[in-house]
Structure 1
Amino acid sequence: MFTCSTGIGVTTVNLLLVLVAVAVVGDELEEQFCSSDNLDSVESSCSHSINTMSSPDSYKSANSIYEFTANDIKGEPVSLEKYRGHVCIIVNVASQCGYTKNNYAELVELYDEYAESKGLRILAFPCNQFAAQEPGSNAEICQFMQSKNVKFDMFEKVNVNGNDAHPLWKYLKHKQGGTLGDFIKWNFTKFIIDKNGQPVERHGPNTNPKDLVKFLEKYW
């Protein structure tokens, strides 16, 4: 039997008791922190940081377009997760551009022909950065869209170039750079997105929407 007959023995026992207490508390804290609830919370926080793209360069860490959110033409937030499994065209549009008439007409034709049969989705983003050719409000753009019989998805007006460009557009340019610089050169620049949410091709304003079919066929 162990007895504490000296001062040294008492001190040693006290020290051992302190060490045991610290170890027990440490185990409890580790168990508490590493519980599934806490790990889920940490993981959720990390995921939230990526999804909101809060810092200027956060878009670079995105794995697909599905990690972005954009407001539709009525101001409602839309998670691009809804496009998972679909081949998409993402395009910046304008109502008063020389390319407007033909591009809108052919985008409407593309959507009508391939939305049901191939699952094609078109995401159009109005932008006023090129010769101020999209000056209207979202409500006015919506009226214009209706006059063109647009059935594909229209989003709120955004910037596609500069520091305040929408994070999605920063991501698109990062993944598919352009000639003489990654910046968007003009209205109706078109990005093809595959079924995994990856930007796989970029086409300039001179490429008519119907000319994209031969490229889209690779990703159906």
Structure 2
Amino acid sequence: MMSIYDMKVESMDKGKHSLRLYEGNVLLIVNTASKCGFASQLNALQTLYERYQEQGFYVLGFPSNQFMNQEPLRDEEIPEHFQEKYGVTFPLFKKTMVRGKDIDPLFQHLTEESKGVGSNKIKWNFTKFLVGRDGTVLNRYSPKTDPDKIESDIQEAVNR
């Protein structure tokens, strides 16, 4: 069985690389979009990243344009926009297919390992996956779940 750390992703600045870079850390993987009504969650995600980074916690942002074209920016424009508008410094990756026939293997794995409501498919931007230090998916959160509401789960994961 393939581990999350065997997955290859394409970052904005490091090119294509393995998630093994993050092995042993707690991850919150989020599909993002700059024009989504939930984009204000980027502020809270950044706060969590800053608060727990020294304990081995990373937020990983994967922009997606699959939901009503809510990510119209080009890959190279996204980091600057997120930084200027929301103060984002956590790692961002190139636009990613998070559902459908061209789903990225990472999101295929995440959705197979965690239950959604009604189906395992990602239904909207800002679906969040909490991944433990061993690479297992600990929890999945809906787009409506404010990042502040999952802080206790993050604390528990980083203290394991």
Q: TM over 0.5, yes or no?
A: yes
Percent sequence identity over matched residues? 36
CA apart distance, 1:107: 0.6
In the alignment, structure 1 residue 91 sits paired with structure 2 residue 30: yes
Give runs of ≥4 in structure 1 deviating > 3 Å: none
- By relative contact order (CA 8 Å, sep 6+), the higher-ranking structure is 2
What per-residue deviation string (whole Å, max 9, x for no partner) do you get for residues 143-182 of structure 1?
Answer: 2122122111100001100110110000000000211111
The TM-score, its normalising length taken from structure 2, stands at 0.94
Q: Which has the larger radius of gyration?
A: 1
Greater fraction of residues in helix: 1
Which blocks of at least 5 consecutive residues in structure 2 are unaligned? none
- Counterpart-to-counterpart distance in 1, 2:102 and 2:36: 23
Equivalent in the alignment of 2:131: 193
Greater fraction of residues in strand: 2
In the alignment, structure 1 residue 164 sits paired with structure 2 residue 102: yes
Which blocks of at least 5 consecutive residues in structure 1 are unaligned? 1-60
In the alignment, structure 1 residue 135 sits paired with structure 2 residue 61: no
User: How many residues were matched structurally?
Assistant: 157
- Counterpart-to-counterpart distance in 2, 1:66 and 1:158: 17
Query: SS state of the match for residue 106, structure 2?
Result: helix
- Counterpart-to-counterpart distance in 1, 2:48 and 2:17: 22
> Cα RMSD between the aligned structures?
1.1
CA apart distance, 1:188: 0.3
Does structure 2 retain, via aligned residues, the 8 Å contact 1:127–1:157?
yes
Q: How does 1:36-115 map to 2 (within 5 A)?
A: 61-62=1-2, 64-74=3-13, 76-101=15-40, 103-115=41-53
Q: What is the letter of the counterpart of residue 24 of structure 2? A: G
Q: What is the letter of the counterpart of residue 20 of structure 2? A: E
The TM-score, its normalising length taken from structure 1, stands at 0.69
